[in-house]
Structure 1
């Protein structure tokens, strides 16, 4: 759910702010599409790969935002203002934590199965 919420926020930000911004505008659309795909994979594919993608998606999008806030990213200098910013940062942190936690659980589960077999 966190990845999907982040994806929707990226679409909203593309529509409202970045539609005509070079590099960052298309990146927002890619984040939307990628987030929707990853959210679908998390729902329908019980495998470690979607968990890894969720963690990487969260880390990449949060990292890009933090870069935009601190030094700027392709001419965009963001600020910690607005519900979208705080919500996106929160769900991206959740995606990272849940993705890593899920990967660790998958690893423990596969180790337990291999010990039994």
Structure 2
């Protein structure tokens, strides 16, 4: 399928048949969009590492939560890698969803007895993960908006 882009026109996510995000104009891969994408990947990676640390420190013994923490850690590493290596809008949407869903699960578990995690176990690791997830959501959103504006 061949598409033409009118000079000076804009292209949305749905317009590009490949979904590839064009490189920043005149700056190679280094630009504000790339910095936001990198920050988003860092947020996802920090959250993944914290979930792995918590999994090794006793969360692996919790029936449903233990495996979910391990899946979160592995998925976060894969997603952070994709965010940095695949210049596509999909990993950024993944960053938004990863951060939002993980943060929602944390807030729910901190305010209730969700899936056997009591609010008394909230500590520094959990707060670092929550901050990283917030960074992932905000930075992924900013990167997505900036890249789609081109």
**Which bin holds the TM-score, normalised by the shorter protein?**
0.7 to 0.9
Matched residues in 2 for 1:54 and 1:80: separation? 26
Q: How many corresponding residue pairs?
A: 109
Which of 117, 122, 127 is equivalent to 1:76?
117
Structure of higher CA gyration radius: 2
CA deviation profile, 1:39-64 (whole Å, cap 9, x unmatched):
01011001111111011100011000
Which of 65, 68, 88 is equivalent to 1:24?
65
CA deviation profile, 1:46-98 (whole Å, cap 9, x unmatched):
11111110111000110001110112211212347422122111110000000
Matched residues in 1 for 2:114 and 2:102: separation? 12
Q: TM-score, normalised by structure 1?
A: 0.88
* Farther-moved stretch of structure 1 (71-80 vs 28-37): 71-80
Report which of the two has the higher share of helix.
Answer: 1
2:137 maps to what in 1?
96
Q: Is the 8 A contact 2:44 2:99 kept in 1?
A: yes
Structure 2 unaligned segments of length 5 or more: list them: 1-41
Matched residues in 1 for 2:131 and 2:109: separation? 17
Q: TM-score, normalised by structure 2?
A: 0.69
More relative contact order, 1 or 2 (CA 8 Å, 6+ apart): 2
* Farther-moved stretch of structure 1 (70-79 vs 7-16): 70-79
